[in-house]
Chains A and B, each alone.
Chain A
Amino acid sequence: MNIYDFTGLTRSIHEGLSSSMSPLAVTVTEFVIIAFAFMIFFTILGLVLVYAERKICAFFQLRLGPMRVGKWGLAQTAADAVKLIFKEPMITKNADKFLFNLAPFIVIISTFMALGALPFAKGLHALDFDIGILYISAVSSIGVIGILIAGWSSDNKYSLIGAMRSGAQVVSYELSVGLSLLTIVVLAESLQFSEIIASQEAGWWIFRGHIPALIAFCVFMIAGTAETNRGPFDLAEAESELTAGFHTEYSGLKFAFFFLAEFVNMFIIAAIGATVFLGGWMPFHIGHWAGFNQIMDFIPPIVWFFGKTGFLIFLMMWFKWTFPRLRIDQLLTLEWKYLLPINLINILIMAFVVLMGWHF
């Protein structure tokens, strides 16, 4: 376990900085380092995820996907990024220019804020709030404001309809995401990510929490997919109905921001799911099998984290490339008539299970 602990590394950096600088300068320097690290991570994540989506989607559809730029098209997304950067940023004539330019930044800032609170490995954790889950679900829903602004300011009726759909959708599904996470919070007895992970040392909650945990996981995956405006819930874009929904009028870099934010949001939802239900960076442990647990510990936690997140991302892509899109009224029916009641009953059952000490 200790060989992969990043706590020592981060502490030594902190101490090294503190020895030569004033406390304020140390804080600022650390902020800059972390911001820089996250920006690089964000870009790489975007490129990798876009490439992965295109390849996976292609294989679902009996295609090869990008094959031309680089070996197996590996440089394709980088080439696309370069193209998007150099593309002319166009603004519609009657658009509200200030809001129009502001919207992509709101979306991307909310994504950054959520990304900051994710635990990647032991000690590799930018923000470890004691209300981590609350923080992340609060921050990740700021993005919808950006989408609403984008739809409103574009001066395009399709955009407006898309934005309004997105608003209704995210507001509803935020509820289910929150409640399904609370089911596990009841088990873990903490809102702090590091403690939730630590509580899963003997086994992941999805296995230890009986059926309620499994139901909570299913609900979380559905609601999480809906919250990122993806898959069967991509009503805000709905290209066969609204051409491109809220980002119809965006081009170039501003479009790229929306595009990246969508993919990174997907990563964030998958990462939360992996952390809360599948133990985050915690290796696969079974009860008291010390030998087995030790073998599992040899795999670095960062691999565990990205492996689990990648699996959930793959699941979300699988949804997207299999299912038809829901209609707006069915979307709301699904949330208010199915997911929410199931969730509420599920929390009660879970509380009862915890109270009686029935979980493993």
Chain B
Amino acid sequence: MRAIIDYIKSIIEGIRTLLKGMSVTGYYITHPREIITQQYPENRETLEMFDRFRGEVVLTHTEANEHRCTGCSACELACPNGTIEIISKREEVDGKKKKVIDKFMYNLSMCTFCNLCILSCPTDAIVMSKDFEHAVFDRSLLTKVLNKPGSKLMEGVR
């Protein structure tokens, strides 16, 4: 008799736990306000990344097409993966030969977004942008030249 009562009890208890689980899912299907989906390409305008989000490395340029990079290659040394390569050239300024950057090469496909280059930059020339849509159809497009054509070093940065 005892066994039969336990048997029936176990069934009722089992059903009770099942109903409890169903009440949780039942709550969510009756409360569509809880839906957490964001429709991504549609909400592109309103989508705001956080300030510190590490998207990709960019060399900031002013409106006068000036940047702050002196070509010291501190970032190149700080980078763990060889993502950054600085090709510098000697340019004659006021009769003196001076080292300036020719090309700031940045290979996005190798970048791990570790932020070490930004920290190492003595002149705050590079920053991490908030852009995260990196997909391209050609791998060669991922190797970027960060300094814009015709740009030059900002006055007073050394």
Contact = CB atoms under 8 A, between A and B. Distances in A.
Contacts of A60: 25, 28-29
A19 B57 CA distance: 84
A64 interface: yes
A86 interface: no
A64 B26 CA distance: 16
A41 interface: no
B150 interface: no
Interface in A303-360: 318-319, 321-323, 338, 342
B21 A62 contact: no
B22 A59 contact: no
Given A62-B34, A62-B36, A62-B37, A323 B26 contact: no
Interface residues of A, number: 15
Given A64-B37, A67-B39, A323-B21, A59 B26 contact: no
Given A323-B18, A338-B11, A63 B35 contact: yes
Contacts of A338: 11
A126 interface: no
Interface string B29-41: 1001011110100
B28 A318 contact: no
B34 A322 contact: no
Interface residues of B, number: 15
A214 interface: no
A62 B28 contact: yes
A319 B26 CA distance: 10
Given A64-B37, A338-B11, A318 B22 contact: yes
A59 B11 contact: no
Contacts of A56: 29
A275 to B, nearest CB: 25
Contact of B29 (A59, A64, A319, A323): A59
Nearest to A63: B37
Contacts of B25: 60, 318, 321-322
B44 to A, nearest CB: 15
Contacts of A318: 22, 25-26, 29
- What DSSP secondary structure best describes chain B's contact surface? helix
Nearest to A319: B22
A338 B10 CA distance: 11
Nearest to B19: A322
Interface in A9-65: 56, 59-64
A64 B24 CA distance: 18
A322 B22 CA distance: 6
B35 A64 contact: yes
Given A322-B21, A323-B21, A338-B11, A62 B35 contact: yes
Interface string A165-176: 000000000000
Nearest to B37: A64
Contacts of B35: 59, 62-64
Interface in B1-56: 11, 18, 21-22, 24-26, 28-29, 32, 34-37, 39
Contacts of B24: 322
A308 to B, nearest CB: 19
B21 A59 contact: no
Contacts of B37: 62-64
A318 B25 CA distance: 8
Interface centre among A59, A319, A338 (most CB of B within 10 A): A59
Most buried by B among A56, A60, A62, A323: A62
Given A62-B28, A318-B26, A342-B11, 19 more contacts: A59-B32, A60-B25, A60-B28, A60-B29, A62-B34, A62-B36, A63-B36, A63-B37, A64-B35, A67-B39, A318-B25, A318-B29, A319-B22, A321-B25, A322-B18, A322-B22, A323-B18, A323-B21, A338-B11
List 6 A-B pairs, minimum CB-CB distance, nearest first: A64-B37, A322-B25, A59-B29, A60-B25, A62-B36, A63-B37
28 contacts: A56-B29, A59-B28, A59-B29, A59-B32, A59-B35, A60-B25, A60-B28, A60-B29, A61-B28, A62-B28, A62-B34, A62-B35, A62-B36, A63-B35, A63-B37, A64-B35, A64-B37, A64-B39, A67-B39, A318-B29, A321-B25, A322-B18, A322-B22, A322-B24, A323-B18, A323-B21, A338-B11, A342-B11
